[in-house]
Amino acid sequence: MDERQWETVRRLADWLAEGSTQPPEMQRVLQCLKLGEEAGEVAEAVIGALGQNPRKGFSHSWDDVADELCDVVITALVALIRVHPDPPAAFDAHLAKVARRVLPEQ
């Protein structure tokens, strides 16, 4: 992610914080819980894209799934901003660690 994208995520986190009646610690907890809700929406969209709900049929497209996945990513990044003092560094370090663990060296 570039700095412009991180700034947008920071602005979203600030906007959510301003609209909340909860103290910061509870906002962190609720943001993390929001991930589960968003993941459920991904599952619903996949089921809909595959037409596996007999009551709803083909209710979603793969573009809908992509949108829901983006919501998961945004929600996770906002949570990361709320729980870590340097979210870009934390993300970069963790991504590099995962890559070292699973990808062949180039």
Each residue's pLDDT tens digit, 60-96: 999 999 999 999 999 999 999 999 999 999 999 999 9
Average pLDDT, the chain: 97
Record the pTM: 0.92
CA pair distance 59, 105, nearest whole angstrom: 42
Residue 17 has pLDDT above 90, yes or no: yes
Instruction: Confirm if 43 and 84 have CB atoms less than 8 A apart.
Output: no
Distance CA 50, CA 82 (A): 35
